[in-house]
């Protein structure tokens, strides 16, 4: 059964850092596009970052609001997706989710193309 479990959320002050983890089971994460999304209260779900599969050099997509601050990576040995978040801002406060898209390349950040969502992990950034 395919599932993911997110962890690593917490509360930090503006300018702080967090690293989120998403451990997949029931499938090999490196065979697919894997993505991070977030949803703040009262807002629609937003694409944060995605990484292509297939091994070798991965293509990475980032949402405009996180470019230069967040970095997505995949540890194939651990079947775990990461999101390193630096220089956090209050507007980054949200529940963060990971999911997979059943293709290897051309990932994009359209949430309706992703499936097998986790339960999410809360990130709170205070000013």
79 contact partners, CB below 8 Å, separation of at least 6: 23, 24, 25, 28, 29, 30
Categorize the per-residue pLDDT at 75 as very low, low, confident or very high, splitting at 50, 70 and 90.
very high
Q: What pLDDT score does 56 carry?
A: 64
Query: Rounded mean pLDDT of 7-36?
Result: 97
Categorize the per-residue pLDDT at 53 as very low, low, confident or very high, splitting at 50, 70 and 90.
confident
């Amino acid at each position: 059964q395919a599932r993911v479990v997110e962890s690593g959320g917490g509360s930090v002050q503006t300018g702080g850092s967090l690293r989120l983890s998403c451990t997949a089971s029931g499938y090999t994460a490196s065979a697919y596009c894997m993505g991070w999304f977030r949803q703040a209260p009262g807002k629609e779900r937003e694409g944060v970052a995605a990484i292509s599969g297939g091994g070798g050099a991965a293509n990475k997509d980032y949402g405009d609001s996180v470019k230069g601050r967040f970095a997505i990576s995949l540890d194939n040995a651990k079947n775990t997706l990461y999101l390193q978040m630096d220089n956090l801002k209050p507007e980054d406060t949200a529940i963060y989710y990971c999911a997979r898209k059943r293709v290897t390349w051309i990932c994009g950040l359209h949430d309706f193309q992703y499936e097998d969502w986790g339960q999410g992990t809360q990130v709170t950034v205070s000013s």
